[in-house]
Homo-oligomer: A and B are copies of this chain.
Amino acid sequence: MDRHDIALIRFGGVNRALAQIVLDRGDDLAVDLGFTLRIVAITDLRLGSLMQADGIDLAAVFAMDADDTFAGWRGGTAVPQNTYVIRNTTADIVVEATFTNPLDGEPGVSHVRAALEAGKSVVTTNKGPVALAAAELNRIASAHGAFFAYEGSVMSGTPVLRFAAETLKGLRVGEVQGILNGTSNYVLGRMEAGLSLDAAVAEAQARGYAEADPTADIGGSDVQLKVVILANEILGADITPADVDRQGITGVTPEDIARAAAERSRWKLIGSARRDASGAVVASVRPVALPADHALAGISGATNAVSFGTDLLGTVTVSGPGAGRIETAYALLSDIIAIDAKQRTRQAVVA
């Protein structure tokens, strides 16, 4: 049976969830998918670095005390040597899960580049490298016979990029628009129930939807990165965050909400990109009062959704979770599954 050896860069919530899936369900997955998964490297700012080409004992990693590091482990050190591990790991797939840096995508971009240049495929949910450098990174992947996959950079494990690529073939997609931030959608829903913006944000934080600093959520910059990704991937654009007009939900007032409700409309933070008559891609993030029969009007709570405007099929919409540790770990798993399939096709063609 085929096997993929995996390196986990940053051992935070999402990569821990992926490791847990491999530990708990690896045998079942092997039966379903026809390949096994083995974690051969882990790096983490707090834990340090660990490389074991014969496979890391994940149960031992999960049993570590809160202040333990990989110092003293075979192949381990207390120093987090991300780039060294990416270059030297025996892994064929590197999972990049460092934080999203919306300014220059670092250190994610450098991590992805280093892996691809070494011929290792990369899967990530890190919006930074995808929104800011996908074209360059895809060229590097192609030149080195590797793959770069990032389904989870938009809507966690809910299929969006793969939905467009695999199930809308033969259609012309002229527009994408979505509810791409669960916190702001939750907040708008709670404002419909009578809460102030501040009270709704506080409630979202208490429920774990919003970050301690919710600026990127309610200010729209999180959605801005996702719109760049959707425009470039699905409409074939070549835009950057600066090309996306951005307005968050902080200007939506209780009066706006009440007025919309009286007309059976709902305020939603909509990220959108479309080709205009000249062929240029126009992209924006802004609050919109959607009529009740709009495909995105019924998306409630922290759920996310994307609608695709197509020529032959009209509007098609996918909705599902947009965040969550396990949901995002599934995005990584789905990318690994897709890479395995591409490698098999390539091997078959070569052979």
Complex CA–CA separation, A228 to B316 (angstroms): 23
A279 to B345, CA, bound (A): 34
Asked if A326 lies at the interface with its beta carbon under 8 angstroms from chain B, I say yes
Partner of A158, one of B300, B316, B327, B338: B316
Shortest Cβ distance from residue A211 to the other chain B in the assembled complex, whole angstroms: 21
**Would A314 and B327 count as touching, CB distance under 8 A?**
yes
Q: What chain B residues lie within 8 Å of A162 (beta carbons)?
A: 166-167
A14 to chain B, nearest CB (A): 12
A281 to chain B minimum Cβ distance, whole angstroms, is 19
Q: Number of A interface residues, CB 8 Å?
A: 46
Q: Whole-angstrom distance from the CB of A154 to the nearest CB of chain B?
A: 13
Question: Which residues of chain A (267-326) have a CB below 8 Å from chain B?
Answer: 292-293, 295, 297-301, 303, 312-321, 324, 326
Q: How far is the CB of A289 from chain B (nearest CB, A)?
A: 15
When chains A and B are docked, how far (Å) is the Cα of A72 from the Cα of B206? 77
User: Are A317 and B315 within 8 A (Cβ)?
Assistant: no
A168 in the interface (beta carbon within 8 A): yes
Determine whether the beta carbon of A313 is less than 8 Å from that of B300: no
Check: A174 CB closer than 8 A to any chain B CB: no
Q: Which residues of B contact A345 (CB under 8 A)?
A: 345, 348
**Selected contact of A299 from candidates B298, B334, B349, CB within 8 Å:** B298
Q: Is A143 an interface residue (CB 8 A)?
A: no
Q: How far is B163's CA from A318's CA once the two chains are assembled, in angstroms?
A: 10
**A297 touches which one: B298, B321, B338 (CB < 8 A)?**
B298
**Nearest-CB distance from A172 to chain B (Å)?**
9
A59 located at the interface, meaning its Cβ lies under 8 Å from any Cβ of chain B in the complex: no
The chain B residue sitting closest to A292, CB to CB, is B300
Indicate whether A159 reaches chain B with its CB closer than 8 angstroms. Answer: yes
A257 to B255, CA, bound (A): 29
In the assembled complex, the CB of A341 is this many whole angstroms from the nearest CB of chain B, namely: 8
Tell me which residues across on chain B come within 8 A of A166, comparing CB atoms. Answer: 162, 166-167
- Judged by a CB distance under 8 angstroms, whether A171 is at the interface is yes
Answer whether residue A219 sits at the interface, using C-beta atoms and an 8 A cutoff: no
- The 14 sampled A-B contact pairs (Cβ below 8 Å) are A21-B312, A32-B169, A157-B313, A158-B313, A158-B316, A162-B166, A166-B166, A170-B333, A295-B319, A297-B300, A298-B298, A313-B320, A314-B327, A316-B321
